[in-house]
Amino acid sequence: DFKKTLEYLSLHLKIAKEVGDKHGEGAAYGNLGNAYHTWEGAAYGNLGNPYLILGDFKKAIKYHNLHLKIAKEVGDKHEEGNAYGNLGNAYHHLVWVIQKKAIEYHHLHFKIAKEVGDKHGRVLLMAILAMLMTVWVISKKAIEYHNLHLIIAQELGDKSWEAITYSSLGLVFELQGRLPKAVEYYQASINLFNSLRALLISKDEWKVNFRNQHQKAYTGLWRVLVEQGNVDEALFVAEKGRAQALTDLMESSFCGGTSHHKGEDEDCAVLKNVPSNTVFQAVDKANVNLWVVSEGKQVYLRQCKLKGFGSENSGSSLFFESFMLGVYTQLGVRSNVRCENRSLDALREGRSKVDEKTKEAKPQPHIQQDGCLSTLYDIVMMPVADLIEGDELLIIPDGPLWIAPYAALKDGNSKYLCESFTIRVAPSLESLRLIADCPDDYHKSSGALLVGDPWVSEVTNSEGEKVLKQLPCAKEEVEMIGKILNITPIIGSQATKQEVLKRLSSVSLVHFAAHGCMETGEIALTPDPHRMSTVPTEEDYILTIGDVLNAQLRAKLVVLSCCHSGRGEIKAEGVVGIARAFMGAGARSIVVSLWAIDDEATLEFMKHFYQQLAGGKPASESLNLAMKSLRESDTFRDIKYWAPFLLIGDDVL
C-alpha cells in the first residue's frame, strides 16, 4: 500500500544519506517523487468515477485524462490501462445519455409535426440527426480508448481486464446498433471469463464472487440476441449464466464432478428435462423477460416494461428489492410476529447483511402499495398467462424475484396464483437436468431425520456472552412431525453434530428446526459432549455445508424450519443462502420460508404438510394443501401466515 511504499522509500533515502551515497540519495528522491506522482494519478482516476455516476461526464473525462497523463509520465502500464478503461466507460455512458435524449426529441418530432405542421417537425428532426451524429463521434472515441485498454491488458497478460474490455466494447457496439459486432465481443468476454473461472477449481465462494463481478457480459449477450430475434439462443445464454457455482457443487455430489451430457448438444440436453409450464425470468434495466417452455419444448418469449423505472444507474435489482420491501410491508410480515428467533445473527455479532440491505432500501414512491400483489402478478405472470396450461407451474427466478411470494400473487379475478397452480422454483434449468439425470439409487427412499431445539445454552460469542436461546416451539414441532411419521426425533442434548452427521447419509427426509444462518447455510447443533475445551468452539457444534457435503447427503426432501431459510445474499449466482447450500450438497427438494411467522402458524402448517406427505401426496401438492388449510382457517387466513413457504427443486413423493 501507499503508506508502506513511502516507509521503504524513506528508509532508502535515510540509509543513502548515512553512507554518503549521493547516487542512491538521488535515486531515492526520484522514487519518492514517482510514488507521489503515481498516487496523484490514481487519485484523479478515483475522482473521475464519482463524477461519472453523478452524470457530470465533462469532469469525469477531465480527471480520467489527468490520470492517463500521469500514468504515461511515470511509465505505469497498469494505471494507463485503468485510465483508458475509465475513459472508455465515460464516453459510452455519454453515448447512452445522448441516445436517450435523441429518442425523447424523436417523440416530440412526431407530436409537433402532427400538431403544428411538418415545418416545425423538420427543424426538430435536424436536431435529432445532429445528436445522433454526436453519438457516433463519441462512441468512436469510446471504442478507441477501450481498444487501447485492450492492448495494454494483453501486453500485461491481465486476462480479467481483457475480458472486461471485451464486454465494454460489446456495449459500445450495442449502443451503435452494430449488433453482430456486439455479439462477437460479448461472446469473447464470456469465453475468457469462463477460462479464468475454470482455474478456481473447487472454491465455491470464489466462484460466486467472480460470477457476480462479471454479470454484464452475460446480460449484454442475451439482451442483444433478444433484439436480433434469436429467442431460443438468448434463453440458452441467460441459462448458462445462472447458478454456475451451484451447478459445480451438484455435479460433484451427483456424478463426481463430471457432467453426463458431455458430447451431446448441451442446449438440447438442458431442455430435455424441463417440465411444461416452466417460466424462466431474466431482468435487465426496465425490461422483465419471460421465456416459457411449453409442451413439445417450444420456447416463447414475452416481455414486460416496468413503469416509472429510473435511470440506467439505478439498476433493476435495487428497483425490485425496494418493490419487495413494499410488498412485505403491506403484508405486515415484520409486525406483531410472535415467534422464536431461529437465526444465528446474534452469534455472528450483528444483523444479517440481507436484513441490513433490506432495511436500507426504501419502497419505490411511484409503486402503489395497495394491490402490490396484483402489480407483481401483472409484471411476472400476466404476459405469459395465455401460455400456461394445466395445474403445475415451475419458475426460474432472477435476482430479487427469488423472494417474491408467488403463491399470493393475484390475477385479474383476485384469485391467488396458488389457487390455480402448484408452484415450485429452481435455480436454473441445468439444476433440473442434473436432478433428473442422477442415478435412480442415489437418493434414499425411506427413513427420516428430525432435528429440533439442539442444546445451545453453552454456546458463547467472541465476547463470552451466551446469546442463543433454547427453542421450545421447535421441540414441539419435531415431536408433532415424529408422531405423524412414526419417527423418533433427536432433541436437545441428543442433537449433537456427530449424531446428525452419522444419520444424514441414510435417510430420505431431513427436517431442521434450529438456529440457522441464511447466508452461509450453517446450523447450530448440540456441542460435542466429549470435546477437549470447556467452552465449545464452532467446530464442536456448527454444522457447515462442507460437513454436509462430506457426510454424503442422500435426502430426497430437506425442510428448513429456520429463520428466513429461503433468503440469503442476492447475487448473479442467485440467492446464496442455506437452501442453496443443501441443494449443492445433493438434496433433491427443499422447503423453505421467506419470512418468519408465528410459532402457532408454523406448527399448523407443518402438521397439514406432513399429513398430506404421509398420505402419499407429492411435495408440491402437500405444500399447496397446507397453505389452503391455513388460508381457510379463522386464525391464520392472513397472507403473511400461509404465503412464505416455497418448494425449491424437484417435486418428490
Q: What is the pLDDT of residues 31-86, one digit of tens each?
A: 444 444 444 444 444 544 554 455 555 666 665 566 666 666 666 666 666 666 66
Q: What is the pLDDT of residue 191?
A: 94
Asked whether the beta carbons of 174 and 220 are under 8 A apart, the reply is yes
Nine cell digits for residue 537:
468452539
Quote the percentage of the chain above a pLDDT of 70: 67
CA-to-CA distance for 603 and 295, rounded, in angstroms? Answer: 38
Q: Cα–Cα distances in Å, from 332 out to 4, 27, 338, 639, 641? A: 52, 68, 13, 9, 10
229: part of which helix (H) or strand (E)? none
Q: What is the pLDDT of residue 457?
A: 87
Other CB atoms within a 10 A radius of the CB of residue 550 amount to: 13
Question: What does the angle CA 227 – CA 403 – CA 368 come to, to the nearest 5 degrees?
Answer: 80
Cα torsion angle, 456, 462, 467, 471, sign: negative
One-letter identity of residue 311: S
Closest C-alpha among 363, 333, 343 to residue 568: 343
Asked whether the beta carbons of 633 and 607 are under 8 A apart, the reply is no
Asked whether the beta carbons of 508 and 448 are under 8 A apart, the reply is yes
CA-to-CA distance for 221 and 199, rounded, in angstroms? Answer: 23
Closest C-alpha among 635, 566, 634 to residue 598: 635
Residue in this structure with the C-alpha cell 424437484, named with its chain if needed? 650
Quote the percentage of the chain above a pLDDT of 90: 36
Asked whether the beta carbons of 185 and 173 are under 8 A apart, the reply is yes
Asked whether the beta carbons of 185 and 169 are under 8 A apart, the reply is yes
Taking only the tens place, the pLDDT of each residue in 537-546 is: 888 999 988 8
CA-to-CA distance for 221 and 167, rounded, in angstroms? Answer: 9
Cα torsion angle, 226, 228, 232, 235, sign: negative
pLDDT reading at 364 higher than 50: no
> Who has greater pLDDT, 611 or 275?
611
3-state secondary structure 488-523: CCEEECCCEHHHHHHHHCCCCEEEEECCECCCCCCE
CA-to-CA distance for 14 and 35, rounded, in angstroms? Answer: 17
Asked whether the beta carbons of 376 and 327 are under 8 A apart, the reply is yes
Q: What is the pLDDT of residue 579?
A: 84
pLDDT reading at 233 higher than 90: yes
pLDDT reading at 153 higher than 70: yes
pLDDT reading at 248 higher than 60: yes
CA-to-CA distance for 476 and 472, rounded, in angstroms? Answer: 6
What letter does residue 343 receive in the DSSP assignment?
B
Q: What is the pLDDT of residue 407?
A: 96
The mean per-residue pLDDT over the stretch 203-232 comes to 87
Q: What is the pLDDT of residue 627?
A: 97
CA-to-CA distance for 173 and 261, rounded, in angstroms? Answer: 34
The mean per-residue pLDDT over the stretch 593-604 comes to 90
| Of the candidate ranges 162-166, 257-261, 361-365, 574-578, the one whose mean pLDDT is the lowest | 361-365
- The winner for highest mean pLDDT among 104-108, 114-118, 455-459, 632-636 is 632-636
pLDDT reading at 101 higher than 60: no
Q: How many CA atoms lie within 13 A of 454 on its CB side?
A: 31
What letter does residue 601 receive in the DSSP assignment?
H
Q: What is the pLDDT of residue 252?
A: 83
The mean per-residue pLDDT over the stretch 232-261 comes to 82
Q: What is the pLDDT of residue 630?
A: 97
pLDDT reading at 182 higher than 50: yes
The mean per-residue pLDDT over the stretch 382-399 comes to 93
CA-to-CA distance for 272 and 429, rounded, in angstroms? Answer: 10
